[in-house]
Chain A
Amino acid sequence: MTEVLSEAEARELCQRILGASSTEAEVRVESTVDGNSRYAVNQLTTAGEVADTQATATVRFGRRSASVTFNALEQSGIAAAVRKAEGLARLAPENAEQMPLLEQQAYGESAAFFESTKDLGPAPRAAAARAVTDATEQSGLVASGFIARAASSTAVANSSGLFAYARSTLASHTVTVRTTDGGGSGWAGTTHNDWQWMTTPGVLAERAGTKAEQSVEPVGVQPAPYTVVLEPTAVGSLVRRVAFGLGARAADEGRSAFSRPGGGNRIGERMLDERVTLYSDPQDPDLREVPFTAEGQPLRRTVWIEGGVLNNLAYDRFWAEQQQTPPVPMGGGIKLEGGTGGVEDLVRSVESGLLITRFWYIRAVDPRALVYTGLTRDGTYLIEGGQITRAVKNLRFNQGLVEMLSNIEAMGAAQRVVASESGGLGSAVVVPPLVVRDFHFTSSSDAI
């Protein structure tokens, strides 16, 4: 069968793997049915359907451990993988930071599985692709896009009796529309656990097409600090990087933007605009994430930043013990609370500035202040007197994210976004559009 494992099937497989080990062990089983369809130059180009179940067995001899991931799941394959893990673990030096296996935990319910997404096979994906490409062909535009969906189940078990199971679905659809002469480019995207909930292909084609047509004949503007209206996708691609930096240990060790000069971390300090509240919560209906970590720690609502104050950092179990504080696992998506209104409302509030659709090739430049560089892409416009007046050439930014979240002028309503540049499936990111003052652009790009 090319179906994701049920709870009973996953439990049985976990037990067989744990049973093959002569020592303490933990196992993670992930079964997935992936599907995707790509289109470009107004036609479908490639597609794929992949069925896989992979198990990761970690075995322990005291403080020695090793892990093996494998997908040969017949009994002989399991026995070989566990033997390999045991052989490695016996040779490994002791890890003083290894924590005991977790006992059984209590988990929240997962509400992330939708039949509409599971059933999104090649034919409906091809139809969705064609809904976009027929529209752009008729309009004299050129579409490229990517539709991805995954149905999966995750199970974690260990020899101390822990078992956790959740299943989920996730889909995304991203569209880039360009003018035939390559002089304009626009983008639109949507993602959710439920395909039925997502923006329709026709609407995506229209949004991206309109942006493409509005982005022709861009005028160059001087690289400088500007007030910007960041669409939710642009915000999401940066805010997820703030989340990457929320580790307590790096902060305590003095190598993070959240390190306190002189030692320790900045928990309790007001670091950002007071409207900034950032949290993770697998049960949040906008996030819908798997409610446990790879080792079976329950994931619950964790408020990282509240009212601009650094409220929490992620503590793994070892570091939490060292610091005599409860462990705080990272996971469960990221949500930046917003206000009301959409991008259009924010544009009306700006006398002079730029509207940014999304960013590209974002890379860390200086971890001391979470400074990142990257470029605008697929729709960058001049705002004058609360109106979009014309397209501008793309720009490179070098911007500290702590500074960006301190320079907020206005927030719109939060929404789920495709936050990864690759347009694929990823951890849930829900963010509002923002107006940010003094956003630093350092050079101009001819790319369209």
Chain B
Amino acid sequence: MHALDSAMAAGASYADARVTSVRNQSVSTREDRITALRDDETVGIAVRVLVGGAWGFVASRNLTRTESARVARAAVDQARANEPATRRPVQLAPVDAYPNGVWETPIRIDPFAVPVEDKVELLLAANAEALRVGGARFVSSSMAFVRLQTTFASTDGSIIEQTLYRTWPSMSVTAVSPDHSDFQSRSSTEVAPMGLGYEHVHAAQLDRRAGEWAEEAVRKLSARPVEPGEYDLILDPSHLFLTIHENIGHPTELDRALGYEANYAGTSFLSPPESVIGRFRYGPEMMNVLADRTQRGALATVGWDDEGVPADSWPIVKDGVFVDYQTTREQVHWISGLTGVTHSHGCAYAQSWDRVQFQRMPNISLLPGEEDYLLDDLIAATDRGILIKGRGSYSIDQQRFNFQFGGQVFYEVRDGAVTEMLKDVAYQGRTPEFWNSLDMLGGARSYELGGTFYDGKGQPSQSNAVSHGCPPARFRGVSVINTGRS
């Protein structure tokens, strides 16, 4: 509050302050030994102000009263320096005051309270399981835990305390051919990072599944290289989540669509808004996409965003048609005449106290289909296709048209059954055509959450943690290349 008072006394028309503690604990191993054991924590205060419609932002690790006042005054001075280079003053959409806001990620077991020796023991046991498989030569594994504790206060009257938790157990097994002419790796990408506690580590069962991943790494050495061509693709949720992230999550960021990220992250094919909102057909009628910061276990789930806006849930694609973007307070009036939405969807986020909050992706998920299909039903309905599991190499252009995505493991599907493992598979496409080739969706029982800790955007680049839920889905006639051939 001292910082806010100082900012207003110095001439700010609006100010918010965040005092944040960021704790990152990680345990990393390789084969039979530990390679890193870290437990990092930094704290600091960030003050953001508006003066004459221009932003100023200053942060410091020093939490004294004197320094918080200095930071606030420096932010005001900076905003004044920025004002001459600002042509259109910032307008913030209204938000209710939450003077006693409190929220914490619902977790069952605090990961920071679990003894580190338990974590090491579990990882080394998983490594040993992997190395029992003949041909598995190398294995690495890790656990990463994040806790963000933030006190947010704004001159709109909110004081909000939040604690966010994230947990990510993972491992990777590498097999090397006896003559060193080939090597193949298999990562545990079915185990998603989640907004959960240590119970997620228990559920992941790395030690029980390590052998299976190791066997797949070895099998990849002798898998048949894919013959390039057009295939029907059956995408498992462990893979499809990242396709949703790239094909739907990023293009529907409003700052990107209007050119505010042109210098790095890029723009969007979903532009201008007046031409696409309620008009652009993203996919078939079975396609429904929901943005949601309230979903339990998801990484971008919060009580309030970093502007004090309560967590929201809203459709992005309805019955195959694009209907709305992701927004922060200053973006609302850019499209409210088109959407009729006059409140922020609550997409402001800063990775830490030392970065300014800006528009970041909420959890964006493809809803399950009406039929109660499981993955096996999609396979049974496919004559000639490829089943892809797990995330691999992902690349997409700066307007989110042209993409090339790979996976962890690939299986040929013939006449309704999985036949053999393939390798060197990647598929290329153009987002609108690809999503309009969607013709089969799994049902609610097949819905799973995937996610990433490292969604990069902004300058300086910030990482956002975000989840995407989806069922398995089938896409018709997609172009597949062989990445092992130049």
B183 interface residue per 8 A CB criterion = yes
Which single member of A47, A260, A443 contacts B57 (CB below 8 Å)? A47
User: Chain A's nearest CB lies how many Å from the CB of B104?
Assistant: 22
Residues of B within 8 A of A371 (CB): 483, 486
Which single member of B33, B34, B174, B397 contacts A375 (CB below 8 Å)? B397
Do residues A41 and B258 form an inter-chain contact, with CB atoms below 8 A?
yes
Do residues B402 and A43 form an inter-chain contact, with CB atoms below 8 A?
no
Q: Which of B42, B56, B78 has the most CB of A within 10 A?
A: B78
Give residues 355-378 of B contacting A (CB, 8 Å): 355-356, 358
Contact with B along A406-448 (1 / 0, CB 8 A): 0000000000000001111000000000000000101111111
Q: Could you tell me the distance between the alpha carbons of A445 and B401 in the complex, rounded to whole angstroms? A: 7
Do residues B57 and A66 form an inter-chain contact, with CB atoms below 8 A?
no
Which single member of A93, A255, A377, A398 contacts B183 (CB below 8 Å)? A255
Contact with B along A33-67 (1 / 0, CB 8 A): 01011111111111111111110100000000111
Give residues 428-486 of B contacting A (CB, 8 Å): 428, 430, 456, 459-461, 479, 481, 483-484, 486
Residues of B within 8 A of A42 (CB): 87
Contact with A along B43-87 (1 / 0, CB 8 A): 110000000001111111110000000000010011001101111
User: Chain B's nearest CB lies how many Å from the CB of A136?
Assistant: 12
B96 interface residue per 8 A CB criterion = no
Give residues 254-298 of B contacting A (CB, 8 Å): 258-264, 266-267, 269, 271
User: Chain A's nearest CB lies how many Å from the CB of B196?
Assistant: 23
Q: Which residue of A lies closest to B37 (CB)?
A: A66
| Segment of A69-77, A298-306, A328-336 engaged in the interface with chain B | A69-77
A269 interface residue per 8 A CB criterion = no
| Segment of A121-129, A154-162, A283-291 engaged in the interface with chain B | A121-129
Do residues A255 and B176 form an inter-chain contact, with CB atoms below 8 A?
yes
Do residues B180 and A260 form an inter-chain contact, with CB atoms below 8 A?
yes
User: Chain B's nearest CB lies how many Å from the CB of A267?
Assistant: 15
Q: Could you tell me the distance between the alpha carbons of A97 and B393 in the complex, rounded to whole angstroms? A: 31
Q: Could you tell me the distance between the alpha carbons of A345 and B60 in the complex, rounded to whole angstroms? A: 48
Which single member of B34, B87, B138 contacts A255 (CB below 8 Å)? B138
Q: Which residue of B lies closest to A54 (CB)?
A: B42
Do residues A375 and B395 form an inter-chain contact, with CB atoms below 8 A?
yes
Q: Which residue of A lies closest to B88 (CB)?
A: A43
A138 interface residue per 8 A CB criterion = no
Do residues B486 and A46 form an inter-chain contact, with CB atoms below 8 A?
no
A348 interface residue per 8 A CB criterion = no
Residues of A within 8 A of B41 (CB): 68-70, 72, 81
Do residues B402 and A365 form an inter-chain contact, with CB atoms below 8 A?
no
B116 interface residue per 8 A CB criterion = yes
Residues of B within 8 A of A369 (CB): 486
Do residues B397 and A50 form an inter-chain contact, with CB atoms below 8 A?
no
Q: Which residue of A lies closest to B460 (CB)?
A: A424
User: Chain A's nearest CB lies how many Å from the CB of B168?
Assistant: 18
Q: Which of A45, A53, A423 has the most CB of B within 10 A?
A: A45
Do residues A253 and B81 form an inter-chain contact, with CB atoms below 8 A?
no
Do residues A51 and B401 form an inter-chain contact, with CB atoms below 8 A?
no
Which single member of A45, A145, A377, A421 contacts B55 (CB below 8 Å)? A45
Number of interface residues, chain A, beta carbon within 8 A? 104
Contact with A along B8-43 (1 / 0, CB 8 A): 000000000000000000000000011111111111
| Segment of A9-17, A102-110, A170-178, A383-391 engaged in the interface with chain B | A170-178
Which single member of B264, B271, B396, B428 contacts A442 (CB below 8 Å)? B428
Residues of B within 8 A of A142 (CB): 259, 262
Q: Which residue of B lies closest to A146 (CB)?
A: B459
Residues of B within 8 A of A182 (CB): 267, 271
Q: Could you tell me the distance between the alpha carbons of A446 and B433 in the complex, rounded to whole angstroms? A: 13
Which single member of B37, B59, B82 contacts A89 (CB below 8 Å)? B37
A361-B395, A446-B399 known; A44+B183 contact, CB < 8 A: no
Do residues A84 and B402 form an inter-chain contact, with CB atoms below 8 A?
no
Which single member of B43, B82, B398, B399 contacts A37 (CB below 8 Å)? B82
A215 interface residue per 8 A CB criterion = no
Q: Could you tell me the distance between the alpha carbons of A121 and B116 in the complex, rounded to whole angstroms? A: 44
Do residues A133 and B85 form an inter-chain contact, with CB atoms below 8 A?
yes
Give residues 92-144 of A contacting B (CB, 8 Å): 92-97, 121-123, 126-127, 129-130, 133, 142, 144
User: Chain B's nearest CB lies how many Å from the CB of A204?
Assistant: 11
A374 interface residue per 8 A CB criterion = yes
Do residues B459 and A178 form an inter-chain contact, with CB atoms below 8 A?
no
Q: Could you tell me the distance between the alpha carbons of A145 and B38 in the complex, rounded to whole angstroms? A: 36
A371-B486, A424-B460 known; A47+B78 contact, CB < 8 A: yes
A43-B88, A133-B85 known; A261+B116 contact, CB < 8 A: no
A38-B459, A182-B267 known; A92+B37 contact, CB < 8 A: yes
Which single member of B60, B124, B269, B399 contacts A51 (CB below 8 Å)? B60
B5 interface residue per 8 A CB criterion = no
Do residues B37 and A88 form an inter-chain contact, with CB atoms below 8 A?
yes
B406 interface residue per 8 A CB criterion = yes
Do residues B59 and A50 form an inter-chain contact, with CB atoms below 8 A?
yes
Which single member of A121, A365, A444, A448 contacts B483 (CB below 8 Å)? A365
Q: Which residue of B lies closest to A189 (CB)?
A: B263
Residues of A within 8 A of B354 (CB): 34, 50, 52
A191 interface residue per 8 A CB criterion = no
Residues of A within 8 A of B78 (CB): 47, 49, 122
Do residues B459 and A92 form an inter-chain contact, with CB atoms below 8 A?
no
A93-B124, A424-B460 known; A43+B85 contact, CB < 8 A: yes
User: Chain A's nearest CB lies how many Å from the CB of B424?
Assistant: 7
Which single member of A81, A91, A447 contacts B398 (CB below 8 Å)? A447
Q: Could you tell me the distance between the alpha carbons of A422 and B454 in the complex, rounded to whole angstroms? A: 14
Residues of A within 8 A of B260 (CB): 40-41, 45, 144
Do residues A122 and B81 form an inter-chain contact, with CB atoms below 8 A?
yes
What are 19 A-to-B residue pairs whose CB atoms are below 8 Å? A40-B261, A48-B356, A50-B58, A52-B44, A70-B41, A88-B39, A92-B120, A126-B82, A130-B85, A148-B460, A176-B263, A254-B180, A255-B185, A363-B393, A363-B394, A375-B402, A398-B404, A422-B456, A423-B264
| A43-B85, A51-B60, A423-B264 given; 7 more Cβ-contact pairs under 8 Å | A70-B41, A126-B82, A175-B263, A361-B396, A394-B397, A398-B404, A423-B263
- A-B pairs with lowest CB-CB distance, top 9: A445-B402, A44-B85, A69-B40, A447-B399, A447-B397, A254-B180, A146-B459, A144-B263, A144-B262
